[in-house]
Structure 1
Amino acid sequence: MSHTIPGYLTSAELRTKARAKLGQTPQPDARDAHATEAMGVLYELAAAPDTAADALALLHELQVHQVELELLAEAQVAIRAQLEADLARQQQLYDCAPVGYFTLDAQGHLMELNLTGAQQLGVDREAVLGQRLDDQLSPMDGASLRALLARIAQGDATQAATHLTLAGGAHGSRRVCASAQVDPQAGQILLTFTDWPTP
């Protein structure tokens, strides 16, 4: 993902672009009634000899500022569109990854899982949220998963792995390598299921 967000302008670039655009559209935007009224007062002051110089300078500065705000709004729309596209792409990469991704709380309840993980378990993703992951496994594999999560939760290891046999899924029984580690920011457990080739 790019670190430079398209559409972002520095203050100097914004002012230069605003002045250039103002040269093309010298009249104030009439869409805002209050702004139009204020501009009208300034135009009247600009027409009076005693206040003309100051009013014209202020009027020009306000026009430049108005165009700056319009350019900022355009840039924000472009930035938002880029961020939404990036988010959609990351969601697609998460869901379609060749491994199952799971986020568990400290008690082993499923907080999040990707589509691959749901397919590995043979379940509907939304239906299992909030349930314990070990309930989706055989008693023996459930015990192996609980032992793995306990080692992580107790701080005995920053990462740990074990092998499990999943009974669900469109492909029937499958062997997976379950790897887990703690998410230091959220305090949750991150878990992956990677298909393990059968000999």
Structure 2
Amino acid sequence: MPRPADTSSHLSSLRERAMTKLTGGVRSDLSRTSTSEAMAVLFKLASSPDTASDALAMLHELQVHQVEVEMQQDELRRSRVELERNLIEQTTRVEHAPAAFLVVDQATVVSEINLAGVRLLGAARPAVLGRPLSSFLAPACSDALQLMLTRARDGAQPEPGELQLLPKDGVSEKLLCTAGRGPASGQFVLVLMVSPPSG
């Protein structure tokens, strides 16, 4: 029997010899050989006294490997189902959170927004997505928002800042905003809440 270090080359050589023998000396492309063909070769080799020992050892290794692969596939399927379930749960939590969550770029263009954000800005989701958040804010807030994004990009500890919405019906709401790095490079997550009235 070959040493463990030689097993791979030995099995490959044995398989090649077997295929040559079974095909009457005509070499075939081993990379195109199907699993069922390989198993047929092994069973044929196992029935010959000259090659039975090696063939049975190789067959056993292949069967163990097949079981291992099936177990890994089952584990991957379970992991995928679990990850998908967790993603759905997290997405649902963010979507229905009481605070407004937005994902914006450095130019404050909104790429994601939850229900609370839609309500806060007073516009339908399609009207918000692709539009700068700054277009919903008082012009004086642009610098403050950019400063928050710059601090987030630089990895600074998030600090709440105050922003102000454009007036609606003569009323302009003040917001507390926290900015952090987003899910992708150049993106930021903003959390917005209506600032409690002072006094």
TM-score band, normalised by the shorter chain? 0.5 to 0.7
Q: TM-score, normalised by structure 1?
A: 0.68
Which residue does the alignment assign to 1:120? 120
2:179/2:191 contact within 8 Å kept: no
2:103/2:188 contact within 8 Å kept: yes
Alpha-carbon shift at residue 189 of structure 1 (Å): 3.6
Alpha-carbon shift at residue 195 of structure 1 (Å): 2.8
Question: 2:181 is matched with which residue: 180, 183, 198?
Answer: 183
Alpha-carbon shift at residue 144 of structure 1 (Å): 3.7
Runs of 4+ off more than 6 Å: none
Aligned Cα root-mean-square deviation (Å): 2.8
2:144/2:163 contact within 8 Å kept: no
Which residue does the alignment assign to 2:81? 81
Which residue does the alignment assign to 1:94? 94
CA distance in structure 2 between the partners assigned to 1:34 and 1:154 by the alignment: 57
Which residue does the alignment assign to 1:149? 145
Unaligned 5+ runs, structure 2: 1-32
CA distance in structure 2 between the partners assigned to 1:145 and 1:189 by the alignment: 17
Unaligned 5+ runs, structure 1: 1-32
Tell me the amino acid that sits aligned with residue 164 of structure 2. Answer: L
Tell me the amino acid that sits aligned with residue 34 of structure 1. Answer: S
Q: TM-score, normalised by structure 2?
A: 0.68
Confirm whether residue 110 of structure 1 aligns to residue 110 of structure 2: yes
* Residues 143 and 160 of structure 1, relative CA distance in 2, 3 Å threshold: farther
The number of aligned residues is 159
CA distance in structure 2 between the partners assigned to 1:88 and 1:154 by the alignment: 31
Which residue does the alignment assign to 1:56? 56
Q: Which has the higher contact order (CA 8 A, sep 6+)?
A: 1
Alpha-carbon shift at residue 98 of structure 1 (Å): 1.0
Q: Which has the larger radius of gyration?
A: 2
Alpha-carbon shift at residue 54 of structure 1 (Å): 0.9
